[in-house]
Amino acid sequence: MRKRMRLVCVLAVLALSSVLGGVADAGTYKPEYKASIVVGPAGPWGEAAIRFAGLLKERTKGRINVKNYHAGQLFAGKQTNEFTLLVQGVGDFAFGSTINWSPQIKELNLFAMPFMVPSYKALDAVQAGQPGKKLFQLIEAKRVVPLAWGENGFRQLTNSKHRVSKPADLEGLKIRVVGSPIFIDTFRALGANPVNMNWGEAQTAFQQGTVDGQENPVVTVIVPSKLWTTQKYVTLWNYAIDPLVLGVSKLSWDAFSAEDKSIVKKTAEEIMAWQKKGARAGIDTSSEALDTLKQNGMEVFALSAKDMGAFRAKTKPVYDKWAREIGADLVRAAEKIAAATK
Ligand code: X2X
């Protein structure tokens, strides 16, 4: 009799756990997931986060409820901490710039190598090819699941003092850069006086006139942030490209059911394809974004390929130093793809 009771109990436990396993499929869901975005809600970068949260909620019938922390609210003023927040599960999702994640993953500095990526076409090929795959593997190995590439864009120079058309024009200009060392190296090599600052603080510094200039893409940052209120001169020089990655903490990801993982992945790919297109619109196939700058009183100067030579030559030692830091194999692979797509 006792034996029989024990058998019944064992069977009951087995049955219950298989039922629970079937229902939950995975771990416990959070009532709310936090997403980090450095910029505000305007523009394709900020808007992508709003669309992603909306679609995800709808498609998972409220199981995955994302709250967006725009303007760097989640990392409380230190944007180079964003990746670590995801690793720790303090943040769940991030629409992260590769620049902000590069202190933790040095290979992501690839895109910040001065004058390396010549075009959007080359960038797409690098991301789709072996270098892009390798970078996603490196991100995942550090316990953040990369869902899709997005784009901040080619970074352009602005300042409040005068036109910059040759390296000598940068001499003495105080330029705000992101807290990632390759940017300090690049602007020092060009003769400027670079200072590290988070994006939020930087905008206050422009208003107060304590910093002269900065570098950021036109469509995703300069226009939505209305930088013409503090900056007058723009130099288009495409000196670095800044891809975004929509990533999710592995801790959060592992708890999602197989069905929800697939919804998250597909929605991320869809939204970031839209985001990437938006980041290029008005600059790639039309001049709309540049016209907006001019209408707001900015002077837009496009460096010719010949002018660029002087900037390239000055930053060559930075390129060589960072090629070693990043790893020669990855850099050579990216260079080869870029050369083939020119
Ligand atoms: O801080 C910047 O310059 C920005 C908004 O482009 C990044 O997050 C890298």
Mutation test residue for ligand 1: of 36, 216, 220, 227, the one with most atoms within 8 Å of CB = 216
pLDDT in tens, 148-169: 999 999 999 999 999 999 999 9
pLDDT of residue 14: 47
Mean pLDDT (the chain) is 93
pLDDT of residue 18: 43
**Tell me, what's the pLDDT at 314?**
98
| Domains of the chain and CATH, by start | 31-152+243-280 (3.40.190.170), 156-240+285-340 (3.40.190.170)
Give the nearest ligand 1 atom to 99 CA: 9
Confidence of residue 7 (pLDDT cuts 50, 70, 90): low
Q: Which amino acid, one-letter code, is at 234?
A: V
Write the residue with the smallest CA distance to atom 1 of ligand 1.
Answer: 199
**pLDDT for 3:** 58
User: What pLDDT was estimated at residue 56?
Assistant: 98
Residue 309 CA to ligand 1 center (angstroms) comes to: 26
Which among 80, 100, 195, 197 is the best mutation to test ligand 1's pocket, defined by most ligand atoms within 8 Å of the CB?
100
pLDDT band at 284 (very low <50, low <70, confident <90, very high): confident
CB of residue 178 inside a 6 A radius of ligand 1: yes
